[in-house]
Amino acid sequence: MYRKGVCYDVGRVMMGGNWRPKFDPKTFHGELTIIKDDLHCNSVRICGFDEDRLASAAEDALAQGLEVWLSPEMWDRRPDETLQYIVRAATRAEELRQRWPGKLVLSLGSELTLFMKGIVEGDNFFERLNNPAFWEIVRTGRHNASLNDFLGKSAKSVREVFHGQITYFSVPLEQVDWGPLDFVGVDFYRDSRIRDAYGELVKSYKQHGRPVVIGEFGCCTYTGAERLGGNGFMVMFGMMEQLLNPKIALPPTVAEMIKVIPQADGHYIRDEGLQARELADQLEVLDNAGVEGAFVFTFVSPNSPVNADPRFDSDLGSFSLVKSYPEGETADEFARQASRQGKLMLGVDLDTKLLERLYTDVGRHGKAFPEMPWDPKESFYAVSSYYLNH
């Protein structure tokens, strides 16, 4: 495995909520330095929406000697809008590539069947996933033609302005035509259904004759999370349910989604050791499968702060390698975002006073890196050790 990486979010935006409202040069320079020097990465996948943030973080990472896999992501827009956005980002990326040739790979998107309008009906990720026809569309493969049409057009347009290597980060339910691309990219989480077959499933992507790169994989931070894999974040829906008025019922589609959570025994028990063991084991499996590179999801999740009360510990449902403490200027914004999204996703009003209980230890900084509003989890050191010794 030549590319040893981690995902670094500069601010993904979902349904009006910015996963990282505060983002400043001092912070991202320090975090990228830690990713290189302490996590022992040689690559970083920089994800997010804002083009200036993407370019600034990529420039900083390149100047520090990291290879950058730039992943501009504009979710829930039409294909034409998405393509225009990707071409703009590609134009910015070419300026960086010329200064650091051979050190920047550009992604045309990620999991577009889920995150772009137009392939499956629905205005946002949750509407598409809960569309009654979604799994029938996936089973029959009807989504693949629209996806590959978009990727073909995108590759052609992007190559007119960007002269480096390009990829796309798929999800296993997509059958991608990799012909126009330089790498096979897949966001691939291990869960209980495919635990024993995970390595062989990863190997199957090598049949396309391109180097295989895992764009996302990881595990959340509670007992049982390894059974849910990429769906581990759904524990947050179970946690949000307790914030509701007992007389209010969840919408049927959401209630169905969170039924999976009780399958994770002890899902309110924090378990950093589990996350650490899972990541080290998955890295070894991916290494043995012969992938070109892998990016752990994710380095930091400021919108999921740790809390001593397990009922309000948002970090349980986070894949991050560090546990965040809320910052004063962002805690209120996250509470407002959670309230808005609770209305959109759950169809109910969440009590903002109760939401405030999610954000304790406001302004606290870490011990290992005192300049940062977070502390490493056990998984940070597990990934660091693996990358250092392999």
Per residue in 81-135, pLDDT tens? 999 999 999 999 999 999 999 999 999 999 999 999 999 999 988 889 878 899 8
Q: State mean pLDDT over 66-74.
A: 98
The two structure tokens encoding residue 354: 């109760």
Determine if the pTM surpasses 0.85.
yes
Torsion of CA 184, 186, 190, 196, to 10 degrees: -20
What's residue 183's pLDDT?
A: 98
Q: Residue 203: is its pLDDT beyond 80?
A: yes
The pLDDT tens digits for 320-363 are 999 999 887 777 777 777 767 666 666 666 666 666 677 778 88
Q: How far is CA 129 from the centre of its chain?
A: 17
What's residue 263's pLDDT?
A: 47
User: Which range among 182-186, 304-308, 344-348 has the greatest average pLDDT?
Assistant: 182-186
- Report residue 246's pLDDT band, with 50, 70 and 90 as the boundaries: low
Q: State mean pLDDT over 192-219.
A: 97
In angstroms, rounded to a whole number, what is the distance separating the alpha carbons of residues 246 and 262?
19
Q: Residue 244: is its pLDDT beyond 90?
A: no
What's residue 160's pLDDT?
A: 98
Q: Residue 65: is its pLDDT beyond 50?
A: yes
Give the E-state strand segments of the chain in sequence order.
3-9, 13-14, 17-18, 43-48, 67-72, 104-110, 165-170, 184-187, 212-217, 293-296, 322-324, 374-376
In angstroms, rounded to a whole number, what is the distance separating the alpha carbons of residues 42 and 62?
10
What's residue 94's pLDDT?
A: 98
Adjacent-strand bridge partners of 186: 170, 214
In angstroms, rounded to a whole number, what is the distance separating the alpha carbons of residues 150 and 292?
25
- Dihedral of CA 88/11/238/281: which sign? positive
Q: Residue 315: is its pLDDT beyond 50?
A: yes
Helix or strand run (H / E) with residue 36: helix 25-37
The pLDDT tens digits for 260-272 are 555 455 557 899 9
- Report residue 259's pLDDT band, with 50, 70 and 90 as the boundaries: low
Please, is 128 exposed, middle or buried when counting C-beta atoms within 10 Å of its C-beta (0-12, 13-18, 19+)?
buried
Q: State mean pLDDT over 213-229.
A: 94
Please, is 2 exposed, middle or buried when counting C-beta atoms within 10 Å of its C-beta (0-12, 13-18, 19+)?
exposed
What's residue 175's pLDDT?
A: 98
- Report residue 15's pLDDT band, with 50, 70 and 90 as the boundaries: confident
What's residue 234's pLDDT?
A: 78
Mean pLDDT of the chain: 90
The two structure tokens encoding residue 230: 């990429």
Q: State mean pLDDT over 141-149.
A: 97
Name the residue with higher pLDDT: 35 or 223: 35
Specify whether the CB–CB gap between 107 and 113 falls below 8 A. no
What's residue 303's pLDDT?
A: 87
